Amino acid sequence: MHNEALCGNPRLQVPPCGGKHVKKSSTTKKLLMKCILPIVLSTILVVASIILLKHKRKKVENNLEKGLSTLGAPRRISYYELVQATNGFNEDNLLGRGGFGSVYHGKLPDGEMIAVKVIDLQSEEKSRTFDAECNAMRNLRHRNLVKIISSCSNLDFKSLVMEFMPNGSVDKWLYSNNYCLNFMQRLNIMIDVASALEYLHHGSPIPVVHCDLKPTNVLLDEDMVAHVSDFGIAKLMDEGQSKTHTDTLATIGYLAPEYGSEGIVSIRGDVYSYGIMLLEIFTRRKPTDDIFVGDLSLKTWISGSLPNSILEVLDSNLIQQNGEQQMDKILTHMSSIFGLALNCCEHSPEARINMIDVKSTLIKIKTLIFGRSVV
């Protein structure tokens, strides 16, 4: 009795040897299973949760990046990709050269056609146009502005990657012997440009002055919709600011008197440039044309033709394109169009009409000529 370690043959009425050990071992195993198994399972669940969350977050980030790209957030395009897209900035891909540098067309690996504006970095002033354009276009979104897809910049290279405009500039269509704009196309182009300027002056978070509006800076997409481009000398108007000063001059013939003489920049200067372009597009005469000498200018030439000699100043291509009945209808309203243009070109900035009224007036004229079905 009381000898708990005693064991032997069961017939001796003692516990079999090893029985207590087995029981004790079994109890230990159960205890270990109760403690360790939950810990192991918990660890597996935590690791699995972390992996799942990381996968989900990556998926969300990819969707967000895709969404932002759709909303117009700048894409990352490397210099190497641009070299490949433009065949090494080959002359065969050259669209044109300007005071800022050169523009090339190219094709990205996904098939998207692009225009690459490469800034000439030989002068500090040209380099500043890149910064000005990036600053001006950063927060602008409008169907009648050329979309900036991305930028690529390092110490030796600066460029803007823009959407490609397959139909080129309005200037090309206006003065080439191979192209010709009909009356409705010209009117639509000027309504598009008015819409862009209305947005820049009155619809963007900070008013933007383009400063260099002219036919070469208005590009046409595949549907002949006009898009204003080239914001290299654009100015942002700070809050409460109605005008500023600059030493950078725009193109002669299109700049407002106060801009040319005193360097004063305001949204009314863009209105003046628009008025000159409106006169030009229906007369096919540049403001720097050789016929304008002495006191004769594009403005005075048109002003002297109103209201009875409009045929003498109107682009002859328009007269040849339209029948007598349609031409009579157009001539009835050309006086209003030229009058509107001259209102934009008033010498005094305060006397000039604003772009909201310009756009609405042109839409009314279009409705009167072609009916509501085409508006």
Q: Of 192, 212, 230, 270, which residue is the catalytic one?
A: 212
pLDDT value at residue 61 = 53
Show the low-confidence residues of the chain (pLDDT under 70): 18-32, 57-74, 123, 125-126, 238-242, 245-249, 373-375
Count CB neighbours of 107 within 10 A: 15
Instruction: Establish whether 117 is an annotated binding residue.
Output: yes
pLDDT value at residue 238 = 66
Tell me, what amino acid is at 242?
A: S
Type and span of the H or E element at 218: strand 218-220
**Peptide bond before 207: cis, by omega within 30 degrees of 0?**
no
- The pTM (predicted TM-score) of the whole model is 0.77
- φ, ψ of residue 161 in degrees (nearest 5): -100, 120
> Do residues 221 and 253 make contact, with C-beta atoms less than 8 angstroms apart?
no
> Do residues 278 and 361 make contact, with C-beta atoms less than 8 angstroms apart?
no
pLDDT tens for 274-291 read 999 999 999 999 999 999
* 48: its two tokens: 């699995």
> Do residues 102 and 96 make contact, with C-beta atoms less than 8 angstroms apart?
yes
What domains can be seen in the chain, in order of their start residue? 79-163 (3.30.200.20), 170-374 (1.10.510.10)
- φ, ψ of residue 53 in degrees (nearest 5): -65, -40
Sign, CA dihedral 67-71-74-78, equals positive
Sign, CA dihedral 15-21-27-30, equals negative
pLDDT tens for 29-74 read 666 677 777 788 888 888 888 888 877 766 655 554 444 444 445 5
- Catalytic residue status for 295: no
Beta bridge partners of 153: 158
Tell me, what amino acid is at 340?
A: L
> Do residues 298 and 285 make contact, with C-beta atoms less than 8 angstroms apart?
yes
Which DSSP letter does residue 17 get? T
Q: Give which of 272, 142, 165, 282 is closest to 216, Cα–Cα.
A: 165
